Amino acid sequence: MGPPERALLVGVFAKNGGRRGWNGESSLEELALLASTAGAQVVGTVFQKLERPDPAYYIGQGKLQEIIALRQRQPYDLVIFDEELSPSQQRNLERALKVKVIDRTALILDIFAQHARTREGRLQVELAQHEYLLPRLRGQWAHLERLGGGIGTRGPGETQLETDRRLIYRRIQRLRQELEEVRRHRALHRRRRAREGLPVVSLVGYTNAGKSTLMSALSGADAFTADQLFATLDPLTRRVRLPSGGFFLLTDTVGFIQKLPPQLVAAFRATLEELEEADLLLHVIDITHPNAAEQAQTVEETLAELGLSDRPRIEVLNKVDRLSRHDGRPIEGLEELAGLLPEEAPESGRALLVSALKGWGIPELLAAIETALQERGRLPSAARGRA
């Protein structure tokens, strides 16, 4: 493996303010984390405030020239834009900058491709990648255009372009068929679970909020965890014992993120359908993150897009072990948390403080889950008495 690509990050933000509370700096900080997760070395960031993006280059001509000049002082071989670029914008930028240009969507797709471990996950990512690539195929043959036409450049490029389009169309259809099989298989599993009468609880949350760590803390089973964005993609279900002796099924799904590419939402439909079967959602929030409120709002908006706004939920304010006392010393338990929570902490009538890593608050969370399932009538006496 060669040296990491040196990435320059570019953001364009509306002059009238950020997106749902996100400011330009915090959005680019998240883009930097995504780039690092993908294996790039971030060498600099550039952002511009505009009334609206430029239709040809996304950024203004002055900023474009600034980025070209910056390469002499701060060498880069990759430019990543924080918003999705149109195919023509991407082609124009690559011609002007003479380096590879990708957008946030392509970056997230790359991370998903790295982290998908199961056959289902790989199918979903490949489908999203092909649907993203299809309108951008023209750019793959830009090298023929740059030759200036003439002898040797007529015909084959367009022929190859059409051939590639047909191949990708066929592959997309095949992937959709295979994912439909996965969907039917999942539906059979869900019907089997319904016959068993076990309630289903699903973890949702912003990426890197600690869902997989909470899955391990609640179920006692190992789940892959890492302090990076989108560490896990593939859905995981575990049987969890309640305080009364009953059981429920706990499901973990892909984490959400602001500006989640629509191709991913569509491709991961089979996975996200697991949420539709949930009797209760646990919304896991990293309470220590400076954008905790904005992240929570992003999750709520994504759930609304999926038609799940009315699903009962418990807000789980995670990572409280990272908070510190007023004198700077780390806290040693939940009883020391009074007055330490940030003012922007999400408000809820049903929110619990936990540290999934330390195990703090897990008994209280299990009790709250049991109460919520009882309120829903989802704990039949046979399930409660099962050993």
Ranges 154-163, 263-272, 284-293, most confident: 284-293
Give the model's confidence band at 109: pLDDT under 50 very low, under 70 low, under 90 confident, else very high.
confident
Residue 361: which pLDDT band, with cuts at 50, 70 and 90?
very high
Question: What is the pLDDT confidence band of residue 95, given thresholds at 50, 70 and 90?
Answer: very high
Range 280-304 average pLDDT? 91
pLDDT value at residue 23: 67
Spatial distance between the Cα atoms of 336 and 324, rounded to a whole number of angstroms: 9
337 half-sphere exposure, CB direction, 13 A CA radius: 20
Question: What is the percentage of the chain residues whose pLDDT exceeds 90?
Answer: 37
pLDDT for the residue 70: 94
Query: Residue 289, SS3?
Result: coil
The pLDDT-based confidence of 155 (bands split at 50, 70, 90) is very low
In Å, how far are 12, 153, 155 from 150, measured between CA atoms? Answer: 38, 6, 10
Euclidean distance between CA atoms 78 and 43, whole angstroms? 10
- Would you say residue 102 has pLDDT above 70? yes
**How many other C-beta atoms lie within 10 A of the C-beta of residue 73?**
7
Q: Are 256 and 298 in contact (CB under 8 A)?
A: yes
Mean of pLDDT values over 280-303? 91
Nearest to 52 by CA among 12, 92, 23, 11: 12
Is residue 380 over pLDDT 80? no
**Average model confidence (pLDDT) for the chain?**
80
d(CA 149, CA 146): 8
* 89 token code pair: 């914008």
Contact predicate 153/144, CB 8 Å? yes
Q: Does residue 381 surpass a pLDDT of 50?
A: no
Residues 33-88 have pLDDT tens digits of: 999 988 999 999 998 988 888 999 999 999 999 999 999 999 999 999 998 899 99
Which is higher by pLDDT, 17 or 112?
A: 112
Question: Across residues 341-360, what is the average pLDDT?
Answer: 70
pLDDT at 90: 92
Q: What are phi and psi of 281, to 5 degrees?
A: -110, 135
| Cα 294 to the center of its chain, rounded Å | 14
85-90 contacts at long range (C-beta below 8 A, 24 or more positions apart) = 85/58, 86/55, 87/135, 87/136, 87/138, 87/139, 88/56, 89/55, 89/56, 89/57, 89/58, 90/136, 90/139
pTM metric for this prediction:
0.79
SS3 141: coil
Express as a percent the part of the chain with pLDDT over 70.
76
Reported for 13-21, long-range contacts at CB under 8 A and 24+ positions apart, including other chains, are 13/47, 13/48, 13/49, 13/50, 14/49, 14/50, 14/51, 14/52, 15/49, 15/50, 15/51, 19/258, 20/258, 20/294, 20/297, 20/298, 20/301, 21/291, 21/293, 21/294, 21/297
